[in-house]
Amino acid sequence: MRYNDLSKIYSFFLYFSYYLLIVILYNYSLYDLYSYKGAEKIINLELRVIFCIFFSILSATITPKLLRKPGDYLVFILTIGLIPTVVILNGVSRYSNVDFEYILIVFLTMTALAIFNSVDNLKNNYLSFKINKSIVVIIGALNIIAIILVLYKTQSYFSLSYDGYHIRRILSKDIFQPGKLESYYVSIFLQGMFPVIFVFSMVEKNRFLIYVSLASIIVLWGAFGERYTVVLAIFLYLIIFFHKKNNGKGVGSIYILLVLIGILCTGILEKYLFDSIYINDHLLRRIYAVPAIINDAYIQYAKSIGFNEYCDTKLYIFHCIDRTINVAYLVSQKIINDPDMNANTNFITYSFVNAGFFGVFIEVAIVGAIVVICNYVFIKETNYFIFSVCLLMALKIIEKSLPISLISSGILLIMAISYLSYRKRTR
């Protein structure tokens, strides 16, 4: 048996263990922590085991042994962050039963993205390119202005405490309201541009921009209660570190799965040995239980009320009588019965609720095209900046719609800047 075949078998067993542990953990602890929002205990465990087997085969097949290209990381992040909540835990709430049509859509989506990611026919040409420092200096200046603006606007409640991060999120939405110019500026040049500056500071070992990156993380936490920047910074650091250490060969997906399985086991042991729920409540509930329940609510919205047809976006002028409020609040009002809740969910569910299978087809094609472009730029130039695009997009589309991720989060702008940040050497 070839080594590659063995690695796929190992991957299958690790994915199966990962998915099955999530089922066990959900029934053991997580559903009870979120029962007040509609979570219910899993009854048909045999069906969940079938889901685990089937999607473990899919995940092991579409995930490369070594994560090398930006698209590899996007596909991998979706297998560990999206499949557990929308497939393995599908229909675990009072809002919706298991929806096989939706699960089929997720399967086709993951397969399609894997196909897009497989488009790889360029040879590395790194020696012909160098970093365009003037572009990055401009980005750094715009980022610093955004930091100053946020500090000025949020000085009344700015805090680094963990207990108050939820309140800071609410207060920041009142100050930086959607649609305002300053809100777009902060979203793009602070939240969006942070990854590019962080990568540049690592590649060039620029201390000043390292400090700017750290300031961005602190400000996003202190003003907005944002935790994703810490996760993204750790991801980027580890990726670039291991890529350079392994001479560009990539990072083993198996090792990342082992770490994740270890975290799940820690959550189970914490509950069993110490009767404590700190890890489960503060980490695993937010990652698995909450998105699963919200996803069920979206499916119920589409089934009972109908497709929203992008009437909450500027596309409403083409076919809607009036523009509706954001579909996240519509679901909160009509299904969850919590009007103040901003029920964000992944891009597949957003597109499905708006336009059914056709909406998913269009948005998956857009994500796939971005993956192809990112892989092209990376392979052509060994452009580590382009990693920030795929990683940021993966983390965003797991919890937000694609239009918001591309425009408000600055992903399209980051793509352009990542490309401009490298230029050909003069010979």
Across-strand partners of 129?
424
User: What is residue 306's predicted lDDT score, i.e. its pLDDT?
Assistant: 82
Amino acid letter for position 351: S
What value does the mean pLDDT take over residues 311-324? Answer: 74
Distances (CA, A) of 277 to 29, 34, 272: 8, 12, 10
Answer whether residue 367 is part of any domain: yes
What value does the mean pLDDT take over residues 249-255? Answer: 83
What value does the mean pLDDT take over residues 371-375? Answer: 90
Answer whether residue 301 is part of any domain: yes
Give the count of beta carbons closer than 10 Å to the beta carbon of residue 172. Answer: 21
Answer whether residue 247 is part of any domain: no
Closest of 19, 14, 28 to residue 89, by C-alpha: 19
3-state SS assignment for residue 94? coil
Answer whether residue 136 is part of any domain: no
Answer whether residue 351 is part of any domain: yes
Closest of 203, 177, 106, 192 to residue 146, by C-alpha: 192
User: What is residue 123's predicted lDDT score, i.e. its pLDDT?
Assistant: 54
Contacts of 417 (CB under 8 A, 6+ apart): 135, 139, 193, 196, 385
- Chain segment 138-167, per-residue pLDDT in tens: 888 888 999 999 999 998 888 888 777 778
3-state SS assignment for residue 125? coil
User: What is residue 124's predicted lDDT score, i.e. its pLDDT?
Assistant: 52
Answer whether residue 87 is part of any domain: yes
Residue numbers of the domain that contains 13: 3-123+291-405
What value does the mean pLDDT take over residues 269-278? Answer: 81
- How far is Cα 165 from Cα 158, in angstroms, rounded to an integer? 10
Is the four-CA dihedral 120, 121, 127, 129 of positive or negative sign?
negative
- How far is Cα 156 from Cα 336, in angstroms, rounded to an integer? 32
pLDDT of 1 above 50: no
What value does the mean pLDDT take over residues 72-76? Answer: 93
pLDDT of 122 above 70: no
Strands annotated E in 34-78? 66-67
Token pair 């690592």 is at which residue? 202
HSE-CB of 60 using CA atoms within 13 angstroms: 22
Span of 54-58, 90-94, 178-182, 251-255 with lowest mean pLDDT? 178-182
pLDDT of 221 above 80: yes
User: What is residue 397's predicted lDDT score, i.e. its pLDDT?
Assistant: 92
User: What is residue 427's predicted lDDT score, i.e. its pLDDT?
Assistant: 46
What value does the mean pLDDT take over residues 245-255? Answer: 79
Contacts of 2 (CB under 8 A, 6+ apart): none
3-state SS assignment for residue 284? helix
Closest of 47, 71, 62 to residue 15, by C-alpha: 62
Of the two residues 236 and 293, the one the predictor is more confident about is 293
Q: Residue 90: which pLDDT band, with cuts at 50, 70 and 90?
A: very high
Of the two residues 367 and 213, the one the predictor is more confident about is 367
- How far is Cα 217 from Cα 229, in angstroms, rounded to an integer? 6
Computed over every residue of the chain, the mean pLDDT equals: 84
Span of 51-60, 86-95, 238-247 with lowest mean pLDDT? 238-247
Q: Provide, rounded to the nearest whole percent, the portion of the chain with pLDDT above 90.
A: 28
Answer whether residue 197 is part of any domain: no
- Count up the domains in the chain and report the number: 1
Residue 371: both structure tokens together: 């993956």
Of the two residues 40 and 311, the one the predictor is more confident about is 40
Of the two residues 70 and 180, the one the predictor is more confident about is 70
pLDDT of 402 above 70: yes
Do 90 and 103 touch, CB atoms closer than 8 A?
Answer: yes
Residue 240: both structure tokens together: 């670039």
Answer whether residue 151 is part of any domain: no
pTM: 0.88
What value does the mean pLDDT take over residues 22-44? Answer: 85
- How far is Cα 200 from Cα 5, in angstroms, rounded to an integer? 37
Q: Residue 48: which pLDDT band, with cuts at 50, 70 and 90?
A: very high
User: What is residue 4's predicted lDDT score, i.e. its pLDDT?
Assistant: 60
- Chain segment 127-143, per-residue pLDDT in tens: 455 666 777 778 888 88
